[in-house]
Structure 1
Amino acid sequence: MRAFHLAVPILTLFLAAFSARAEVLSVSASTSGWFSRETVVTIALVQAQAYRIGVQDTHGQLHVDLVDGSIAADPVIETDGVLGSVRMGRADLNTARITLGFQRQVTLESAGMEQTRNGALLTLIFSVGNARVTPVRPDLPEDPDRPIIVLDPGHGGIDPGAVRDGISEKDIALAFALELRTALEAGDAYTVVMTRETDLFLSLRERVRIARATEAAAFISLHANTVTRGNASGAAVYTLSAEASSAEAAALAALENRADSVGGEVLDAGDDDLALLLNDMTQRETNARSARFAEELVTGLRHSVGVIRSNPHRSAGFRVLKAPDIPSVLVELGFLSDRQDRANMISPAWRAEAIAGIIGALDQWSEQDRILAAGAASQ
């Protein structure tokens, strides 16, 4: 079943190009009519901008590309029963992308940009069918005993991450995350949310926002490492800390934190000051939970694939791990600069073994975390 039909005659719609960069302030949806026959999606911008509309039929997705566009630091997002999800990121260096995920079959009837007193509005009008589509992100469970796990494939889009012999970190991370999601969902113990499912650039801030919006029980960011000098191999697991556990961990955090600069994001002056954040009681407890999770992951990977670095649990100031209320870890699966690690990471058999180790660790940690939380609540 096709999720979309375009009544407008072309997929690409343009306004005259503007010299300044337009910023997306909000995305909202409103459905009206008998049996919810029409949905209007409005995208508020600082100013009018050239745009393109594209369709991905498989999972009920439509994307809007804004030429020379950017995303506000905290855009307002309002969904409804037809528009189920909104993702924002970059399609390339100069193009902001808004991906709309629909829960019903829709037809795009019209699209238009207009100037307003406060900026501009891009209005998309859809007629709504009765058929439901399979969403990319699953509905969040009503059962609170089924934890939500957010998988975050690192890098993406214009940011390839590490690259060696034509193999990029962004592709390794995405392939592994998709297979890990499949395995987790097969066990029916978790609900899985992905920060990205395609080759899309997302800011570190957006990745954290997705985790917090879903009230995730755990956040797992997946990466691959590389070195330009010397030799290094094996997996490692990183958690958040104000002071890095080693110079190498500090260098890796600095490298990963620069990912946002690829997409043109300018960091706030105090954005990397972790001292105040880590003094917060909630953050201290979250860090302790993250550390226990990291130790379980190290054990699981050691038992499943055996390729582990010395001192495999490390820490530094990774911005993507900053959610104050969600246990968060960054898993480096191996080194693209090492021939054997590289062969492992592109091997389906090796990935399956590593995934088994990660799921076993997640199961073990989740049970321990539940017991500790119950004990604390009874005191």
Structure 2
Amino acid sequence: MQMLMWVSRRFAAVVAICLWGQAALSDVAVLSIDSQTEGWLNRTTTVTIALDGAIPFRVSTPQDGRVAVTLNGADPHSQPAFHPDTVINRYNLSGAQEGAVISLEAQRMLTLQTASMTNSGGAARLILTFAAGSRLSRSPHDTPTRGATALPLVVLDPGHGGIDPGAVRLDIAEKDIALAFGRELRAVLQDSGRFDVRMTRDTDVFVTLRDRVRFARESGAAVFISLHANTVTRGNASGSAIYTLSEGASSAEAAALAELENRADTLGGVDLGVEDDDLALLLTDMAQRETNARSAMLARATVEAMRHAVGVIRSNPHRSAGFRVLKAPDIPSMLIELGFLSDATDRANMISPRWRAHAAQGILAALDDWVERDGVLSAQVRPAPARVAGANGD
């Protein structure tokens, strides 16, 4: 009898200790969830979960952009501070038999690389690193629509054409480089399943600058990309550069290039004798200022992505000037100079399908990143723009 009582008391003590331990674990609060992504073509996403104590955890294999983090003994009623980024932008905290489960929703396919728990002075951090892969397609239920489609419309504008060859070197014409690259870039963007694409020209025809802008606006473009090559007659220059609209020029070279490109309409008999007085007016408009900021963000993304994709980028690669073809006040726009026909290496690159394929992948990566970042800022895919009188380069 004494032995039975001793065993009973010992069992009760063990049960009490287990219950106390479970209660102690259940007091562990989830303090914050922070997501940060670095890189362009090879993105790494780091998720840091701050806790007020170290506890066992389990991370599920990511499925469809959703990651489940099970925290044994965590308080499911915690209200953590959440710091999203362009890859992980939503979370859900729910109860489970073990304690709590944090479900993270990602915009890209994630592959778990490392998982570790640190503990210092009673404060713990669970650090998860993921390789962030291709962007996930959203369902129509989750994605705001743009007219009849949920995909952002990219208007590609191969420069020059027809009677306007653009820059020419060794029988290689800018208009042909721009059209070939435009067609290949269109295929890359469409094959991604994340963009609709239209082109201002798909054959060797002349299109005025104002008609290019008008086409983009009437199509309801989400972004406008004009494709060009460059050349110099004196000195040496090489590498790609990205240009956006500004009232003044970022450099004398940018101003000269804008003046040269803006002369294209004279070949089609367009009267350019009257200065674009509306440019200064447009730049003071709130919509234009917002569009310029969004264009600059797109240009920066493209510079970094192209740097990783092809490596050859000019010094100060993001430049600006008063390009007529970038004047749509409500469409983020940029002009890409792929390289210099006057430079032997650039010329070989631009006629190389392999190099152009790498460049196209870089632009796709930039557009992916920009759409995510712009989506965070504007909270929705923007509707097709209303027509603004005098905004088509007229």
Q: Select the residue among 158, 178, 196 that pairs with 1:173.
A: 178
Question: Does residue 1:248 correspond to 2:253, yes or no?
Answer: yes
Q: Which runs of 5+ in 1 are unaligned?
A: 1-139
After superposition, the C-alpha distances for 1:346-368 in whole angstroms (9 at most, x for unaligned) are: 00000000000000000000111
Question: Does residue 1:364 correspond to 2:369, yes or no?
Answer: yes
After superposition, the C-alpha distances for 1:243-289 in whole angstroms (9 at most, x for unaligned) are: 00000000000000000001110026242552111001100000000
Q: Give the AA of the match of 2:327.
A: K
TM (norm. structure 1) is 0.61
Counterparts of 1:212 and 1:263, CA distance in 2: 21
Give 3-state SS (helix, strand or coil) of 2:379's partner.
Answer: helix
The corresponding residue for 1:300 is: 305
Question: Does residue 1:233 correspond to 2:227, yes or no?
Answer: no
Q: Give the AA of the match of 2:249.
A: A
Question: Does residue 1:224 correspond to 2:229, yes or no?
Answer: yes
Counterparts of 2:148 and 2:380, CA distance in 1: 21
The corresponding residue for 1:184 is: 189
Give 3-state SS (helix, strand or coil) of 2:226's partner.
Answer: strand
The corresponding residue for 2:316 is: 311
Counterparts of 1:191 and 1:272, CA distance in 2: 34
Q: Select the residue among 213, 216, 224 that pairs with 2:218.
A: 213
Aligned residues: 238
Q: Select the residue among 196, 204, 211 that pairs with 2:209.
A: 204
Q: Give the AA of the match of 1:254.
A: E
The corresponding residue for 2:327 is: 322
Contact 1:141 1:191 in 2 (8 A): no
Counterparts of 1:175 and 1:291, CA distance in 2: 26
Give 3-state SS (helix, strand or coil) of 1:245's partner.
Answer: coil
Counterparts of 1:306 and 1:376, CA distance in 2: 31
Aligned counterparts, 1:251-270, within 5 A: 251-267=256-272, 269-270=274-275
Counterparts of 1:190 and 1:375, CA distance in 2: 16
The corresponding residue for 1:49 is: none
Counterparts of 2:225 and 2:296, CA distance in 1: 13
Cα RMSD of the aligned pairs, angstroms, is 1.8
Give 3-state SS (helix, strand or coil) of 1:306's partner.
Answer: coil
Counterparts of 1:221 and 1:272, CA distance in 2: 23
Q: Which deviates further from its counterpart, 142-151 or 275-284?
A: 142-151
- The structure with more radius of gyration: 2
Q: Select the residue among 320, 325, 343 that pairs with 1:338.
A: 343
Counterparts of 2:146 and 2:290, CA distance in 1: 25
Query: How far off is 1:151 after superposition?
Result: 0.2
After superposition, the C-alpha distances for 1:283-323 in whole angstroms (9 at most, x for unaligned) are: 00000000000000000100000000000000000000000
The 1:141/1:284 distance shift into structure 2, 3 A limit, reads: closer
Give 3-state SS (helix, strand or coil) of 1:239's partner.
Answer: strand
The corresponding residue for 2:156 is: 151
TM (norm. structure 2) is 0.59
After superposition, the C-alpha distances for 1:165-194 in whole angstroms (9 at most, x for unaligned) are: 000000000000000001111111111000
Counterparts of 1:249 and 1:277, CA distance in 2: 20
Q: Give the AA of the match of 1:318.
A: F
The corresponding residue for 2:165 is: 160
Counterparts of 1:151 and 1:177, CA distance in 2: 6
The corresponding residue for 1:137 is: none
Q: Which runs of 5+ in 2 are unaligned?
A: 1-144, 383-394
Counterparts of 1:350 and 1:306, CA distance in 2: 11
Counterparts of 1:249 and 1:159, CA distance in 2: 21
Structure 1 runs (4+) deviating above 4 angstroms are: 140-144
The 1:272/1:258 distance shift into structure 2, 3 A limit, reads: farther
| More strand, by proportion | 1
Counterparts of 2:278 and 2:336, CA distance in 1: 23
Q: Percent identity?
A: 68
Give 3-state SS (helix, strand or coil) of 1:258's partner.
Answer: helix
Counterparts of 1:289 and 1:334, CA distance in 2: 24
Query: How far off is 1:376 after superposition?
Result: 12
The corresponding residue for 1:287 is: 292
Query: How far off is 1:340 after superposition?
Result: 0.3
Query: How far off is 1:204 after superposition?
Result: 0.1
Aligned counterparts, 1:80-99, within 5 A: none
| More helix, by proportion | 2
Counterparts of 1:291 and 1:217, CA distance in 2: 15
Contact 2:375 2:381 in 1 (8 A): no
